[in-house]
Structure 1
């Protein structure tokens, strides 16, 4: 599956809240759930080999969960053939998941 056009936001807590809010409101979002999952993965990967400051460290489990749930959602929804051939740019995960992730980040 090819990557989508990347979200050009800095890797900050405010940006996490912003993209999760977009995910919770896909009809008003400039980004797809696929783009959001890819952005979360890129953010998380920035801290694979280095220690993050505590404010960022707290976000990493949520970022990982978004990307992992995206992959699981697709794997549980589509056949292998579909996974190989579709782009999934218009696919959406349940918006409640994004609301739950927002609550976790905002507490």
Structure 2
């Protein structure tokens, strides 16, 4: 599957909250759910092997969950042929998931 155009914002808790809010309102969002999931994966990868600052450490499970749920959603929704051929920019995860992640990340 081809990667999306990357979201070019700094990796921070504040920017995660902004992206989760965009995910909860996809019709108004400048980013697709695919882009948000890819950004979360890159953010997680940046800090997974180091001692991250405490505010980052607290959101690491959310970053992993966004990316994991994206992959699981696609795997459970599309055939292997479709997964190889489509770009998934228009696919949306359930809005409630983004709302839940936003609440969890805000805590």
TM-score tier by shorter-chain length is: over 0.9
TM-score normalised by the chain length of structure 2 = 0.99
Per the alignment, residue 26 of structure 1 pairs with: 26
Unaligned runs of 5+ in 1: none
1:91 maps onto 2:99 in alignment: no
TM-score with structure 1 length normalisation?
0.99
**For residue 58 of structure 1, what is the aligned residue in structure 2?**
58
Q: Count residues in correspondence.
A: 107
Question: Displacement, 1:48?
Answer: 2.0
Q: What secondary structure does 1:59 align onto?
A: helix
Q: Secondary structure at the match of 1:31?
A: coil
Q: Residues 37-48 of structure 1: matches in 2 within 5 Å?
A: 37-48=37-48
Q: Give the CA deviation at 1:81.
A: 0.4
Q: Distance in 2 between matches of 1:31 and 1:49?
A: 27
Tell me the C-alpha RMSD between the 2 structures.
0.5
Deviation at 1:45, TM superposition (A): 0.2
